[in-house]
């Protein structure tokens, strides 16, 4: 019998209308889906998301944005530069039958500038870059995120546990969960 390697990993939705449903995540080291425990902690920190316009940067599998949609967010823009990962997000959206979502296959600076030019504003933003890339992206995020958030937006940043992100917003909380750190900012 020959075994063929699967090209995706599965992650589950933790709560909301799609609770328990499984979503796919691209296999390999390029994408690190946010774990169930860390996602649950993040959503406990931010509270209800009913009706929110969500932006999921460095979306990977789309787990954070999909979780928000399951919990009642009105819309989500997923930004992911990797084509294969963007296709997995599209497939997850179709599998879960979510509407009100867009997948943008671009780098974050191009995507944020385009959203700012469209005067698009978000109530909730997830920022989850590869841990080793945080320092490279922090200046761009500091410059462009203020142009795309509402006045009372929440920003949830996932970094490696030793990184303390600095963005031009009010710090709400920061907590470590194993090798991850979740930092919540208020615009």
Query: How many helices (H) and strands (E) would you count in the chain?
Result: 5, 9
Contact between 169 and 155 (Cβ < 8 Å) = yes
**Residue pLDDT, tens place only, 38-54:** 778 889 889 999 999 99
**Residue pLDDT, tens place only, 175-186:** 998 888 999 999
Distance between CA 27 and CA 114 in Å, rounded?
29
Distance between CA 129 and CA 134 in Å, rounded?
6
Please tell me the total number of residues recorded for the chain in this structure.
Answer: 187
**Residue pLDDT, tens place only, 78-114:** 999 999 999 999 999 999 999 889 999 999 999 999 9
Alpha helix positions (H), 31-82: 36-46, 63-70
- Note the CATH architecture for domain 8-186: 3-Layer(aba) Sandwich (3.40)
Contact between 79 and 54 (Cβ < 8 Å) = no
63-70 mean pLDDT: 95
| pLDDT beyond 60 at 8 | no
Q: What ranges do the domains of the chain cover? A: 8-186
Percent of the chain exceeding pLDDT 90 equals 70
- What mean pLDDT, rounded, does the chain reach? 89
């Amino acid at each position: 019998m020959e075994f063929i390697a699967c090209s995706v990993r599965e992650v589950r939705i933790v709560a909301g209308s799609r609770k328990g449903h499984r979503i796919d995540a691209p296999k390999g080291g390029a994408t690190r889906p946010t774990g169930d425990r860390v996602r649950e902690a993040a959503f406990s920190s931010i509270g209800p998301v009913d009706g929110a316009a969500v932006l999921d940067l460095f979306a990977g599998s789309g787990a954070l944005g999909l979780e928000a949609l399951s919990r009642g967010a009105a819309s989500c823009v997923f930004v992911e530069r990797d084509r294969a990962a963007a296709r997995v997000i599209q497939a997850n959206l179709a599998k879960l039958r979510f509407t009100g979502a867009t997948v943008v296959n671009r780098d974050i600076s191009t995507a944020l500038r385009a959203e700012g030019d469209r005067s698009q504003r978000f109530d909730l933003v997830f920022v989850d870059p590869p841990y080793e890339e945080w320092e490279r992206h922090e200046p761009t995020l500091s410059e462009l995120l203020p142009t795309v958030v509402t006045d009372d937006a929440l920003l949830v940043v996932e970094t490696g546990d030793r990184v303390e992100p600095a963005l031009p917003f009010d710090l709400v909380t920061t907590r470590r969960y194993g090798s991850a750190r979740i930092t919540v900012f208020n615009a």
